[in-house]
Structure 1
């Protein structure tokens, strides 16, 4: 009889340890689950930063190079379709800010003021969208 009660106590102690371990594991899993949204936010922030950096390089490529990559060509096509004009982007020799020229029947015209700001803002938005869509 004494052996049987010792076995029962040992069995209950083992189950108690298993129950304690299961509770710890459940709390650990719950803590991991709670931190997961923060990980997602951090990953999204890193991705956003990377997309912005690549978009900046794409715009630099658009301005500096005469020959355009397929991504740059798609960006320019969308910009032209939205605004109804073809635009040229160039840096002046003196190193000042980028100049935007709109092609017209009478030759290129400089775009300035609010129209220039609007075009640059839309160019940035289109570029971010294209880069984000093409990234894995």
Structure 2
């Protein structure tokens, strides 16, 4: 088989172009895969941030409301079930931190110290869970 040097050069140039295109396509696919992985992480982070912001709003505003929404009623119901008695959350007029009152037979008693921390931590966890479950 006789081949001219021009044909060999043309064939080698064509293979070189195919190799260059294959490398470029591989880099593109790799970058696209990394972007998709990063996009998934970004979406999760944005969702978590949004859930936390809404949960904070629920705790700061709705939990002290006199007419609770179904979500707030579910949160308060779960807190009552876990601790065995209902709680009342109020903000004092001076704007300081929320006051937690426990309903007892003797009347409301303020929850303080480690128990207050446990109730607040559990309130936060339950609220995050409920908000996350109700979000699309």
SS at match of 2:28: helix
Which residue is 2:100 aligned to?
Answer: 100
User: Does the Cα contact within 8 Å between 2:51 and 2:131 map onto a contact in 1?
Assistant: yes
Q: Which residue of 1 aligns with 2:82?
A: 82
Contact 2:75–2:130 (8 Å) recurs in 1? yes
Instruction: For residue 71 of structure 1, report the CA deviation from its aligned partner.
Output: 0.8
Q: How many residues align?
A: 135
TM-score, length of structure 1 as denominator length: 0.84
**SS at 1:23's partner residue?**
helix
State the match for 1:130 in structure 2: 130
CA distance in 2, matches of 1:7, 1:68: 83
Using the size of structure 2 for normalisation, the TM-score is 0.84
User: Mean alpha-carbon deviation: is it higher for 48-57 or for 36-45?
Assistant: 36-45
Unaligned 5+ residue runs, structure 1? none
Cα deviation, residue 96, structure 1: 2.1
Q: CA RMSD in A?
A: 2.3
In structure 1, what is the Cα distance between the partners aligned to 2:28 and 2:63?
52
1:71 alignment counterpart: 71
Structure 2 runs not aligned, ≥5 long: none
CA contact (8 A) 2:63 2:72 kept: no
**Structure 1 residues 102 and 84, CA gap change in structure 2 (3 angstroms):** same
- Mapped contact 1:62–1:89 kept (Cα < 8 A): no
Q: Is contact 2:89-2:100 (8 Å) kept?
A: yes
- Contact kept, 8 Å, 1:63 with 1:91, in 2: the verdict is no
CA–CA distance in 2 between the matches of 1:59 and 1:95? 15
Residue aligned with 2:63, SS: helix
1:41 to partner: Cα distance: 2.4
